[in-house]
Chains A and B, each alone.
Chain A
Amino acid sequence: MSDDIERLLASIGSQLDLDAELEREVIDEIRGHLEDAAADAEVHGVTRQDALAEAAARFGVTDVGLQLHSVHEGQATADGVVAASLPVVCALVLRWLVFSPGGTAVNWRELLIRPAFWVVAGAALLVPMLRFTNRRYALVSWTFFWVLSVIFALGPALRW
């Protein structure tokens, strides 16, 4: 019986062209729905095999594969773009628009009462938190943003 589900899932999976982690999540979700549908049908006296066959037919393998693909396509790239660009953009905004013109944070006490400072710092944390399913990535991204910002403020490189 579970072979039937696995065959069905494999044929849906072959139509997905997503990154491995996301693909596994999608397949696991479908597996859950199929098993729930089969269990429901069994309660109403239908045999498990028939219930699975009916659930599989209701799903429509081709349509489901294509729909899931179109729903999730682009998400991995969006994650990559956020990971690569957000800490960099936020560090540049702090450097050029929030820190003093010399690029230092000499008056750092004054920084703490500037809304712009908190908006940038908050965006650098919140956007990846909302974007990444794994929150640790968001924290890594936020840490990288602070490392860049602190070096910007303290490092001598910008005064070549």
Chain B
Amino acid sequence: MKSLVIIERILRNRNRFFTEIRDGVELGEKMRAMLVSGIVFFALYGAVMGSTHSLWQVISSAVKLPVLFLATLVVCSPTLYFFNLIFGSNQSLTQNFCLILTAITITAVILLSFSPIVLFFLLTTSQYQFFKLLNVGVFSVAGIVGVRFLGQGMRIVSVGGHDGAKARRNILRLWILVYAFVGSQMAWTLRPFIGAPSLEFELFRQLGGNFYGNVFASLGEILGFFTVR
């Protein structure tokens, strides 16, 4: 229940939540609550994605989706922290981590809210490529909402920092791009999440190709240009 209280506070009164992060109020408790709820929500969405294929794929996706976001968080946090520090931020690493975790938690909440819709489409469409692109769209929307929260949080938490606010804003924009690239590459590395219907279950596929090429290929098949193998 504590996790849900924290989520409600983020959604309903984000100014108060970010102010508490700025003042260092119960950061550990906040992070624990966000981690727990984030992992559960990602796992549920992962299970929905994997349910196109097999029970093993359901379990695998339910485990891999939280790992994907947490690994991206761990990989990207230090970059944001050190660049902010160079440009006059007075935030601690924990505060930085907490802010990014907030963005990831919001992404998880949005994904959870989309899970009935995605399951409905899974049951009523027979096109694997469409389902894949639908998920890319859902993740994009959820990710954008998440990083908007991060932007708002950074503004509030950075109040009182040294000079360089404009530079820090630009760094945040660049960091968001890096975060998206790292996230998509991480997703490609950990694939499959849905599981191609013609292939047997595999925990991980062989490396090769990239996320963006595959999305364009799926678009091409849906529009009738070629068939993805």
Contact = CB atoms under 8 A, between A and B. Distances in A.
Interface in A114-160: 144, 148, 151-152, 155-158, 160
B8 interface: yes
B176 interface: no
Contacts of A152: 123
Contact of A88 (B115, B124, B125): B115
Contacts of A78: 1, 4
Given A73-B5, A160-B126, A160-B128, A148 B51 contact: no
A157 B126 contact: yes
Contacts of A85: 44, 112, 115
Consensus secondary structure, chain A interface: helix
B109 to A, nearest CB: 8
A124 B112 CA distance: 17
Contacts of B155: none
Q: In the complex, which range does the number of interface residues on chain B fall in?
A: 20 to 34
B124 A91 contact: no
A88 B119 contact: yes
A157 B159 CA distance: 52
Interface residues of A, number: 28
Contacts of A89: 44, 47
Contacts of B1: 74, 78
Nearest to B126: A157
A158 B121 CA distance: 11
A144 B116 contact: yes
Contacts of A57: none
Choose among A85, A97, A148, A160 the residue with the greatest number of B CB atoms under 10 Å from its CB.
Answer: A160
A17 B113 CA distance: 22
Contacts of B126: 156-157, 160
B150 interface: no
Contacts of A96: 51, 55, 58
B197 to A, nearest CB: 4
A107 interface: no
B115 A84 contact: yes
A80 B7 CA distance: 11
B197 A160 contact: yes
A88 B116 CA distance: 6
Contacts of B13: 17
Contacts of B112: 81, 84-85
B82 interface: no
B120 A77 contact: no
Contact of B116 (A77, A84, A97): A84
Closest 6 CB pairs of A and B: A74-B5, A160-B197, A77-B8, A74-B4, A151-B123, A77-B4
16 contacts: A73-B9, A74-B2, A77-B7, A77-B8, A77-B11, A81-B4, A88-B116, A92-B48, A92-B58, A96-B51, A144-B116, A148-B119, A151-B123, A155-B123, A157-B125, A158-B123
Interface of A: 17, 19, 73-74, 76-78, 80-81, 84-85, 87-89, 91-92, 95-97, 144, 148, 151-152, 155-158, 160
Given A73-B9, A160-B128, 13 more contacts: A73-B5, A77-B5, A77-B7, A77-B8, A78-B4, A84-B113, A85-B44, A92-B51, A96-B51, A97-B55, A157-B124, A157-B125, A158-B122
